[in-house]
């Protein structure tokens, strides 16, 4: 029984790593726009479909499909960022909600129109099991773990030491002061939005071999999974988001094993309700943005 618990905790950490990569992009976008991006899961979906198209139609390797999936999502995010997200600077929160919901519907239905609404089999990735310390894990799950930590370390260094990272932190604290001192706020918003979308796409490409199938509506569930994570971690708090994603991933894995697989998706929604009732500002300080 002990080995089963450890195995499920490891699986939960893998799931949490996927959630963390997606959720950190959403929380960074919230930090600069003060609006939740309800279309965030669609960039996860776009990255997955980009990789699937590269593998099935272009005949590229899985490694190359990762680049295709992320780059294609970056292109879409750039267009959306220029046309919509930059105009959300200083806009009411309601405008951001409506705009991102509209974007989600457009992106989702465009993919369904182009590729069809059925499930597609993703044939790439490293699905062969590997034995590590007596535990068997698919190579793809190990890859997710290997990628997650450098991504967060890189984000930490970027946000802390780079010029763009400092601008992002400044915009998240006071937009008006940034405009006074000459910071190009729309440019910072655009770059943050593209970075968040790219991270979501990367997560989608990494999990596609584990999910096996891809479909046009797969982004919705990811969006709803990331909402309790960023609320639990504290809106705009990157470190809190990472910890919250790990907590949710482990909790889902244990619930699926010992309670029932059908209850797995309820964990996130139950967490969201409890957090809104008990501690709506999250487990971590809302002052620690980025």
pLDDT of residue 269: 80
Q: pLDDT at position 290, please?
A: 53
Q: Residue 285: its pLDDT value, please?
A: 57
3 state DSSP class of 260 = coil
Query: Which residues, given as ranges, of the chain have pLDDT below 70?
Result: 1, 133-135, 285-290
Q: Report the pLDDT value the prediction gives residue 65, as an integer from 0 to 100.
A: 93
Report CA-CA distances (Å) from 73 to 14, 115, 134, 185. 23, 16, 38, 22
Q: Report pLDDT for 238.
A: 81
Averaged confidence pLDDT in the chain? 86
Q: Are 192 and 155 in contact (CB under 8 A)?
A: no
Q: What CA–CA distance (Å, rounded) separates 15 from 197?
A: 19
CA torsion sign, 179 to 164 to 73 to 246? negative
Going by their DSSP bridges, the two strands 213-214 and 135-138 should be labelled as unpaired
Please report the sign of the dihedral spanned by the C-alpha atoms of residue 28, residue 145, residue 5, residue 8: positive
Say how many C-beta atoms besides its own lie within 10 A of residue 138's C-beta. Answer: 17
Question: Strand 129-132 to strand 135-138: parallel, antiparallel, or no bridges (unpaired)?
Answer: antiparallel
Tell me what pLDDT residue 289 has. 52
CA distance readout (Å), 29 to 36, 199, 271, 286: 8, 12, 22, 15
Domains, the chain: 2-278 (1.10.3470)
Q: Do 191 and 162 form a contact (C-beta atoms < 8 A)?
A: no
DSSP letter at 120?
E
pLDDT at 1: 63
Q: At residue 239, what are phi and psi to the nearest 5 degrees?
A: -65, -40
d(CA 225, CA 35): 17
Q: Quote the pLDDT of residue 161.
A: 87
Distances (CA, A) of 189 to 60, 89, 175, 196: 33, 8, 11, 11
């Amino acid at each position: 029984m002990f080995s089963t618990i450890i195995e499920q905790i490891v699986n939960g950490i893998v799931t949490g790593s996927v959630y963390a990569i997606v959720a950190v992009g959403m929380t960074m976008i919230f930090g600069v726009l003060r609006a939740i991006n309800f279309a965030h899961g669609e960039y996860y979906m776009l990255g997955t479909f980009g990789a699937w198209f590269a593998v099935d139609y272009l005949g590229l390797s899985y490694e190359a499909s990762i680049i295709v999936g992320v780059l294609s999502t970056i292109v879409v995010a750039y267009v959306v960022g220029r046309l919509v997200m930059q105009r959300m600077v200083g806009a009411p929160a309601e405008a951001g909600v409506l705009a991102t919901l509209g974007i989600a519907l457009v992106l989702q239905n465009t993919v369904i129109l182009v590729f069809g609404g059925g499930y597609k089999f993703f044939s790439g990735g490293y699905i062969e099991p590997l034995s590590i310390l007596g535990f068997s894990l698919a190579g793809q799950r190990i890859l997710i773990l290997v990628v997650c930590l450098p991504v967060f370390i890189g984000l930490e260094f970027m946000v802390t030491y780079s010029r763009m990272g400092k601008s992002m932190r400044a915009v998240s604290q006071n937009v008006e002061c940034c405009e006074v001192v000459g910071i190009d706020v729309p440019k910072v918003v655009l770059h943050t939005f593209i970075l968040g979308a790219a991270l979501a796409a990367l997560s989608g490409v990494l999990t596609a071999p584990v999910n096996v199938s891809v479909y046009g509506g797969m982004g919705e569930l990811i969006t709803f999974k990331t909402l309790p994570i960023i609320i639990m971690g504290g809106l705009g708090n990157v470190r809190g988001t990472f910890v919250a994603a790990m907590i949710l991933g482990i909790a889902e894995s244990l619930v699926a094993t010992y309670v029932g697989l059908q209850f797995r998706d309820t964990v996130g929604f139950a967490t969201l309700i409890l957090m809104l009732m008990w501690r709506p500002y999250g487990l971590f300080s809302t002052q620690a943005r980025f």
